[in-house]
Copies of this chain bind each other. A is one copy, B any other.
């Protein structure tokens, strides 16, 4: 009962894209720096998100990835279902078998999981996080000022582009 690393990295990437929405593309190599994950691997993950219609990709120099819709229109469930190879938590989820009582159980769990995941959007999570006094950009320790340098940020986080602060 574990999420794949794809979901974990991919969601981090989506939060970064959300912060750059709708203007800027974010490249795989920028994500590599920010998330500390292999560039080739995050590239693969982004391609899965692209295939699922969650991000678009622009090729060529100064290309990268961008959300296809507003962060408030993308649920965590959208992202997780795109990246999790197998969301069918048990064999009897899709089957109509009613023979044993386990079907009820696993279907209820399945519904619960998707319910939780779809109750949050990229936007709502970032809002909650910021409201809790934590800078959206995610690169600082608690109580410290933001240290991020590589990435353009929204106002209010204390970051300066291309310069640590």
Binding site for B on A (CB under 8 A): 1-4, 7-8, 11-12, 15, 76, 80, 84, 86-91, 98-102, 104-106, 108-109, 112-113, 115-117, 120, 125-126, 128-129, 132, 134, 136, 138-142
Chain B minimum-CB-distance residue to A109: B116
Chain B minimum-CB-distance residue to A136: B101
Residues of B within 8 A of A15 (CB): 100-102
- Known A105-B11, A120-B108; judge A139-B99 contact (CB<8 A): yes
A2 touches B86 (CB 8 A): yes
B3 touches A2 (CB 8 A): no
A99 touches B141 (CB 8 A): yes
Residues of B within 8 A of A129 (CB): 101, 104
Question: Assembly of this chain: how many copies?
Answer: 2
Least distance between A57 CB and chain B CB atoms (Å)? 22
B99 touches A12 (CB 8 A): no
Chain B minimum-CB-distance residue to A86: B2
Q: Within the assembled complex, what's the spacing in Å between the Cα atoms of A86 and B11?
A: 21
Residues of B within 8 A of A126 (CB): 101
B140 touches A125 (CB 8 A): no
Residues of B within 8 A of A140 (CB): 99
B117 touches A104 (CB 8 A): no
13 contacts between A and B (CB under 8 A): A1-B1, A1-B80, A1-B84, A1-B87, A1-B113, A2-B88, A15-B101, A99-B142, A104-B128, A109-B116, A112-B115, A112-B116, A113-B116
A1-B2, A104-B128 are known; give 20 further A-B pairs, CB within 8 A. A1-B7, A1-B84, A1-B86, A1-B113, A2-B90, A7-B90, A8-B90, A8-B91, A12-B100, A12-B102, A15-B100, A98-B132, A99-B138, A99-B142, A101-B126, A101-B128, A105-B125, A108-B116, A109-B116, A112-B116
